A and B are shown apart, each in its own frame.
Chain A
Amino acid sequence: AQSVTQLDSHVSVSEGTPVLLRCNYSSSYSPSLFWYVQHPNKGLQLLLKYTSAATLVKGINGFEAEFKKSETSFHLTKPSAHMSDAAEYFCVVSDRTSGTYKYIFGTGTRLKVLA
């Protein structure tokens, strides 16, 4: 069965320092992997996606993620945090394990950016 584990429920970084949000997945097939961001009282917004093309994926707002099959990981990084990055981040996996294309969310990582 497909599943996602976000290793940190809360991450705090200082503005201008690197961001690392960790995600491990479980999937029987070649998965599609996504990172979504949710700002308070806002909808879920796609940051980036991996769908079996390049393993290093670049997204919006300077975020990127690397798909590592051997480690079953898809960690999200950003070289320099900005105050506006403070939000909840969700790692998502989707494949045809169950015969349908549903999206399975992790429990989320709340990113706090300190001035």
Chain B
Amino acid sequence: DTGVSQNPRHKITKRGQNVTFRCDPISEHNRLYWYRQTLGQGPEFLTYFQNEAQLEKSRLLSDRFSAERPKGSFSTLEIQRTEQGDSAMYLCASSLSLTTGRTNTEAFFGQGTRLTVV
């Protein structure tokens, strides 16, 4: 399967613990995105990488959240000192940038990591 892969699929953690999620994008895609989705809501943008550079972070991304994309390949999202409000589905997506124009290609999404903080 050459789609976007996320691990783990499910994570249950105690409040105050740190968690890390991994995303493996489609291999030739240079853009990688993290989103958060809560029940009954649309995905909310968290952060975005072009190759290894983190180009934008949402205000939703508090100091407890950090994302990396070393060497422009896979990415990790770490949440420190988890809170119950962090419980959500964390989605990763990747896309291929166009060299010209202002339009954007489509993003391909992984199945997500469901985080439950107890």
B95 — which chain A residues lie within 8 A by C-beta? 101
Bound-complex Cα distance A105 to B45 (A) = 8
**Of the candidates B41, B42, B104, B112, which one forms a contact with A101 in the assembled complex, judged by CB atoms under 8 Å apart?**
B104
| A43-B111, A100-B55 known; A105+B43 contact, CB < 8 A | yes
Which residue among B91, B103, B108 has the maximum number of chain A CB atoms within 10 Å of its CB? B103
B97 — which chain A residues lie within 8 A by C-beta? 101
- Contact assessment for B103 and A102 in the assembled complex, using a CB-CB cutoff below 8 Å: no
- Contact assessment for B45 and A104 in the assembled complex, using a CB-CB cutoff below 8 Å: yes
B104 — which chain A residues lie within 8 A by C-beta? 32, 51, 94-95, 101, 103
Contact with B along A9-38 (1 / 0, CB 8 A): 000000000000000000001111010100
3 A-B pairs with least C-beta separation? A105-B42, A44-B109, A94-B104
Chain B positions near chain A (C-beta within 8 angstroms): 31, 33, 35, 40-45, 48, 50, 55-56, 91, 93, 95, 97, 101-112
